[in-house]
Structure 1
Amino acid sequence: MNSTGRRVAILILGLAAFGLPAAVHAQTKDTPRSPHPQAQRLANWLVSHRGAESGLPVSHVGDGRFKDWCFTYDAAVAALAFIALDRPGEAERIIDFYITSKNARRLGGVIEAVRVVPPYDGKDWSVRTGANIWLGLASYHLFLSTTADKYLTFAAWIGDFALGLQDSDGASPTHGGIKLGPPGDAAFHGDQHFGYDAQLPGFEQIFATEATIDAFALFNLLQGQPGMGRFKSGRDRCLRWLKKVAWNRGQHRFNRGFHHEPDLAVASDVHAWGISALGVARLDAIEPGAAEQMVQFVEANCLSTVVYRSPDGREATVTGFDFVDHEALRQLKRPPLVSPEWTFQMANAYLRLSDDFEAAGDKEKASLYAHKQRHLLDQVMAMASTLDNAAGLPYASLGGVPVGHENDTPVQGSFSTIGVAYGILALTGYDPLRPPGER
């Protein structure tokens, strides 16, 4: 999963390192609109923890083994956060890096991680569809913000990369699904396999619900542009796969994916993203009431209330979403946790539901989901640590435990670029999976 698959570092970060550098200055001439004050503090943290020349965010601050690493998905969401704050110049620095840096490309796409400082060398050479598509989403929204054609061109390049990884065989049981990544180079043992282990499945063998939702969102944006009708067919195939393959009719929710047979594992993020990208009407076409049934499922099975201890010793009782369901926790042998990133995703899903029900004239449901959205924001922001007017968030409330989707969380005391960036999106109500006309 790209949202957990950023090769999570095992971070040890004291509060002393949190505010480095101490001075927080924007590095462009953009004048942002007046955002939510908490969003501004999160933005200050992003500006403080990035490559001075490249503008790329440092994904895992404080871990010497991953010093100056930036994961592509994190970069994409950070760019979207700056767009949400009406600071496109900050986003341009990030996207321009990937447009111009050819050694960040491989196997037809963009690699997972690069160093944020010269020589900007690759640090994780695997290529995953999800991270690429999010980079495409960021580039498309930057095109809307700036009208610069190069960003539309780059978004379409990534869209074509994703189209090439879609099963277009109408007779296939996985027709319309998007592969987790392209095949690897046979010259490198374990290339494009989980853990670089040739005994584990290759990315091209996995059809991921998450990547298919991501692709639907990008194709849906691109298909409206002149000369890009090919993405409409790709979008419609994604919908077919989500309905025919990913939808779990017994539990009224999405499966995680497909590998030889349906992967029945629960990933809370695909439900949040499914609601954001598809909305009530498209989900009703899968099953009447699907959106609210998904919410009921993840609230019953993935919602956790935990005591979070911040690096400065402060404690807060927080309710939010785990990466997995309660049954998986027993198999993982870990306590429940709260992920700021995945909880912020659900906050945006609640906002989508509120907007959709408001448009349909259902004031009661619109008010219900607006209340749920505000409650989640208050809960997660209680986890923020603030220093010098910059606010950071952990990757999860527990450190050094298995996520349940491939990797472990960082150790206690670390802070997360992806949590901070997604916090900005949720606090501003900016949802990149929704076309502007559906916001």
Structure 2
Amino acid sequence: MKIAGRYVAALIMVLVAFGFPVAIQAQSKNIPRATHPQVQRLANWLLSHRGTESGLPLSHVGDARFKDWCFTYDAAVAALAFIAMDQAGEAERIIDFYITSENAHRLGGVIEAVLVVPPYDGKDWSVRTGANIWLGLAAYHLFRSTKAEKYLTFATWVADFALDLQDHDSTSLTYGGMKLGPPGDPAFDGDQHFGYDSHLPGFEQIFATEATIDAFALFDLLQNEPKMGRLKNGRDLCLLWLKKVAWNPGQHRFNRGFHQKPDFAVASDIHAWGVSALGAARLDAIEPGAAEQMVRFVEEHCQSEVSYRPPNGREVTVNGFDFVDHEALRHLKRPPLISPEWTFQMANAYGRLSDDFEAVGNKRKASLYAQKRKYLITQVMAMATTRDNASGLPYASLGGVPVGHENNTPAQGSFSTIGVAYGILTLTGYDPLRPPGGR
């Protein structure tokens, strides 16, 4: 086993078309028939860009640095996309790989990236809480879809891995929070540190809001299963940390995390995921109206309109969400960009708010957020490049620039699985951070 080169952590972490009909399995609303062709074309791209034998998706197509790479988080979301389309067999191929491939297991969890082709070598050997939890979310939803106990067993294995990374010291400032990852192997210098640099913080020293929201969602799903009481306690501790540590009362939003002191950086995805996973009622317990205040904050500070030119296509104007706030752009020395994945995540958050307000009889707000969701979907889909009835999306509207959260975007002109997979989730109305069937 070899640790991947230091350059990996400085880069991104995170055709034959198939023409079968798409079966839509929305969580809470029927999907308009007009969206079916878009879902089909995204599905065709996903099916056309994967390992033939493994079924693992190719994370970044067109960037030579990541030829034949699959990141674990991307694999998990691709599996969820197949579940959303009622193609459980395709999801099973992905999850079965991680169940059976010992080469992908390390430090009690699953590594960040492998090759999609034999011998499926590890490409990034770091182990991160978030990617593992998303694999657990995919396994649990697959269990609900197939009733196959092995997927519940695997989801529980992931949940227990995450539970071990939760701070259970009630005297600690980070009580209830989730560590970014387990401690590394001392035999490898810089293992489980940012940039594989032992002078930089280790993952076990960082408490991440993103990972805590992810863990809340997985624990919340699993605690309803028999003999899962320990996960209910883990879920409640996640909520405690989100309220007491992550919440920024001055700006009515979540901080990115905690390392010796609060990390006040803005990450737009944790707000979208926070709304999807917790919903308006649970967020009200943190601060009345918190869900809408969080959404308003990222709309004002992270939303932009940019010009984007698809490969071999005409320039389009697109409105969506960046990875960071406008203030951070000055330090990053780059213009605003649009992330299809993170914009689709916000569309899912709008869907959650629409459903929550519909449930309490507030039809005006339910309609408002339904329209916001529809608008974002239209904007992102304008970025798609369609060839041979298959639609690909970039990782971001700009290639080779700093994300603002450790990594750079892949090369300009490349396409990424994560945008396509999240597009399928959003278009089908399937939000994996919510229980099947909605709340």
TM-score band w.r.t. shorter chain: over 0.9
Match of 1:273 in 2: 273
After TM superposition, the structure 1 = structure 2 runs for residues 190-269 of structure 1, keeping only pairs within 5 Å, are 190-269=190-269
TM-superposed deviation, 1:33:
1.1
Do the aligned partners of 2:340 and 2:395 also contact (CA within 8 Å) in 1? yes
Query: Residue 370 of structure 1 aligns to a residue in which SS?
Result: helix
Kindly provide the amino acid, as one letter, of the partner of residue 72 in structure 2: T
Aligned length, in residue pairs: 421
Alpha-carbon distance between aligned partners in 1 of 2:173 and 2:348, rounded to the nearest angstrom: 32
Query: Residue 415 of structure 2 aligns to a residue in which SS?
Result: coil
Match of 1:338 in 2: 338
Match of 2:32 in 1: none
Stretches of structure 2 lacking an aligned partner (at least 5 in a row): 1-7, 25-34
Query: Residue 436 of structure 1 aligns to a residue in which SS?
Result: coil
1:384-435 CA deviation, whole Å, 9 max, x = no partner?
A: 0000000000000111111000011122211110000000001111000001
Kindly provide the amino acid, as one letter, of the partner of residue 319 in structure 1: N
Match of 1:390 in 2: 390
TM-score (norm 1): 0.94
Do the aligned partners of 2:393 and 2:415 also contact (CA within 8 Å) in 1? yes
1:157-190 CA deviation, whole Å, 9 max, x = no partner?
A: 0000000000011111000000000000000000
Structure 1 residues 341, 107: closer, same or farther in 2, change over 3 A? same
Match of 1:353 in 2: 353
Kindly provide the amino acid, as one letter, of the partner of residue 138 in structure 1: A
TM-superposed deviation, 1:294:
0.3
Alpha-carbon distance between aligned partners in 2 of 1:394 and 1:158, rounded to the nearest angstrom: 30
Query: Residue 430 of structure 2 aligns to a residue in which SS?
Result: coil
Do the aligned partners of 2:308 and 2:318 also contact (CA within 8 Å) in 1? yes
Alpha-carbon distance between aligned partners in 2 of 1:381 and 1:7, rounded to the nearest angstrom: 29
Moved more, 385-394 or 56-65: 56-65
Match of 1:128 in 2: 128
Aligned residues: CA RMSD? 1.4
Do the aligned partners of 1:9 and 1:63 also contact (CA within 8 Å) in 2? no
Stretches of structure 1 lacking an aligned partner (at least 5 in a row): 11-20
Match of 1:24 in 2: 17
Match of 2:283 in 1: 283
TM-superposed deviation, 1:145:
0.3
Do the aligned partners of 2:105 and 2:111 also contact (CA within 8 Å) in 1? yes
Match of 2:403 in 1: 403
Alpha-carbon distance between aligned partners in 2 of 1:37 and 1:229, rounded to the nearest angstrom: 43
Query: Residue 114 of structure 1 aligns to a residue in which SS?
Result: strand
1:267-312 CA deviation, whole Å, 9 max, x = no partner?
A: 0000000000000000000000000000110000000100101111
After TM superposition, the structure 1 = structure 2 runs for residues 282-321 of structure 1, keeping only pairs within 5 Å, are 282-321=282-321
- Paired-residue identity, %: 79
Query: Residue 316 of structure 2 aligns to a residue in which SS?
Result: strand
Alpha-carbon distance between aligned partners in 2 of 1:411 and 1:99, rounded to the nearest angstrom: 31
Query: Residue 36 of structure 1 aligns to a residue in which SS?
Result: helix
Query: Residue 438 of structure 1 aligns to a residue in which SS?
Result: coil
Moved more, 175-184 or 407-416: 407-416
TM-superposed deviation, 1:66:
1.9
Kindly provide the amino acid, as one letter, of the partner of residue 74 in structure 1: D
Match of 1:424 in 2: 424
Match of 1:33 in 2: 23
Kindly provide the amino acid, as one letter, of the partner of residue 163 in structure 2: L
Query: Residue 132 of structure 2 aligns to a residue in which SS?
Result: helix
Alpha-carbon distance between aligned partners in 2 of 1:227 and 1:429, rounded to the nearest angstrom: 31
Do the aligned partners of 1:9 and 1:66 also contact (CA within 8 Å) in 2? no
Match of 1:103 in 2: 103
